[in-house]
Amino acid sequence: MSKKQRKNPLSLKLDRRNFLKGSALGLAASALPLENADASFIEAFFQKHFREMNKKEIQEVLNRLEKEYSEQYKKHVTVKATKAMPGVQFGYGLDLSRCIGCRRCVYACIGENNQSRDPQIPWIQVLSFRKGDKWTDLEEADKYYNPATVPEPEHWYMPVQCQQCRHPACTRACPTQATWKEPDGIVVVDYNWCIGCRYCMAACPYGARHFNWGEPHIPDDELNPVTHYLGNRPRYKGVVEKCTFCIQRTREGRYPACVEICPVGARKFGNLLDPSSEIRYCIENKRVFRLKEELNTQPKFYYFYAT
Amino acid sequence: MDSEAALAQSPQVQEHKIPKYITPPPPFSEGIFPCSDCHKDLKPNPKRRKLELMHTDIHLKHAGGEQWCLDCHDLNNRDKLHLINGKLIDFEEVYYLCGQCHGTIFRDWKAGVHGKRTGEWNGKKVYRLCTNCHNPHQPHFKPLKPKRPPERPSDIK
Ligand code: SF4
Ligand code: SF4
């Protein structure tokens, strides 16, 4: 492999606890495996929890990552950490009467959010159902359909992605607090804290989380260089990732990429706290439902039938 | 709200007290507009008929074949459309015309819920004209080729 691979700092074959014990005795330097011990690696290893860092510390982390990514992808990559806007709770609407199952959203998401192209671990799954079939069994639904054209007669489609639950089951399962709910309701993952135990994946009732079994691969020219620390920055092998409502776009006021690509306008997005928003109009005027409501995860992802 | 800043006011808009939406231009075939370029030399013919000399590429499949050209296009001013009440409107405001029959959809569209929206969820939004997505002469969407399905876990090497 010609490219220098970035590594998850936590994949170091040394656990922090022993390391810290050692460092108290003044053995720090000798305890680190030397071939890995360049300065940025040591910095990454000692990085604090994201929510405990002050502004300056966050900026240092962003600078270090920008440098790493720009070197690896041979172009200028930015990493922001834009904070949640006050008074905003994001909500999403999906009009099942419109979706034609074309998967444009899946690939717009892969491109915008720097998902590995090989192996593929797409954040959006589009499920296909025959009209009249029992459809509540999401696990059994067909996501590999591949007819010449869509929509197929007598079929309908339901895209599923992270539901940004108000009571997320995933965050509570995480032993290292590497995943949490932000003030605007977006559930995020810190790829530098994720240890890859996949407890969150087991806990999520929607299959919304995906694991990097292999080294993620994105061609240099396809990398989206505008990234957010808690969102679409390139990931490491061995960490979990998922939809963030395009945090890098939506915290700047823009629509998510899947909303903008959908050729039939099935996807709606906005601020649940703003009575004049599109999402509030959907909830107040359409019959909406959420997936697996009985689990009390309280998704902020609303399905509806506009016609 | 930002969309209020974008209240460009045309006479129709002032009357309806509806903001003028930011939309892409109507999708005219090349060289076809203004219609009056050709029609100014033609005698208007209000007779319902099948067009055989011009516009033969247009196959009217709307409202079960009940529609015909002059239901929407104006006989005397070819560069305009007309509403049922006789009022003339520009092609840029075609939603008033479509909204006469598709009232609930027009209502959802104004709220930003029917149709595709791009831009900012909390600011300037680009709406699509009905005709930017639907061919008014054949409004049903044509089927699309779906993008590639995901890999099955068993196919990942
Ligand atoms: S792009 Fe729109 S129509 Fe196509 S699968 Fe996604 S939601 Fe459905
Ligand atoms: S859908 Fe799954 S990953 Fe997303 S917030 Fe809910 S439990 Fe967590």
Furthest-apart CA atoms within chain B: distance in Å: 70
Write down the pTM of the prediction: 0.88
Contact B27, B131 (CB under 8 A): yes
Report the DSSP beta bridge partners of residue B135.
Answer: B138
Backbone angles phi, psi at B96, to 5 degrees: -65, -35
Distance B51 CA to ligand 2 centre (A): 57
A168 min Cα distance to partner chain B (Å):
24
Instruction: Specify whether the CB–CB gap between A151 and A178 falls below 8 A.
Output: no
* Ligand having the closest approach to the CA of A262: 1
Mean pLDDT across the stretch A28-56?
72
Q: Cβ distance A231 to A241 under 8 Å?
A: no
What's the CA angle centered on A298, arms A130 and A278, to 5 degrees?
A: 75
Nearest neighbour of B116 by CB, restricted to A100, A119, A265: A265
A159 within 8 A of A150, measured Cβ to Cβ: no
Give pLDDT tens digits for A119-156: 999 999 999 999 988 777 788 899 999 999 999 999 99
pLDDT (average), residues A254-276: 97
Q: List pLDDT tens digits, range A60-118.
A: 999 999 999 999 999 999 999 999 999 999 999 999 999 999 999 999 999 999 999 99
Where b means 16+ CB within 10 Å and e means fewer, A125-160 reads bbbbbeeeeeeeebeebebebeeeebbbeebbbbbb
At B89, the amino acid letter reads I
| Torsion angle in degrees (nearest 10) through CA of A63, A65, A66, A71 | 130
Question: Of A122, A255, A268, which has the smallest distance from its Cβ to B150's Cβ?
Answer: A122
- Give ipTM to 2 decimals: 0.84
Contact B149 A260 (CB under 8 A): no
Query: Which residues, other chains included, contact A165 with Cβ-Cβ below 8 Å and sequence gap of 6+?
Result: A187, A297, A298, A299, A300
- DSSP SS3 for A287: coil
When pLDDT is averaged across residues B42-46 and rounded to a whole number, the result is 91
Q: How far apart are CA A112 and CA A103, in angstroms?
A: 14
CB-facing half-sphere around the CA of B43: CA atoms within 13 A = 2
Relative to the CA of A301, which ligand 2 atom is closest?
1
Ligand lying closest to the C-alpha of residue A202: 2
Q: Is A187 in the pocket of ligand 2 (CB under 6 A)?
A: yes
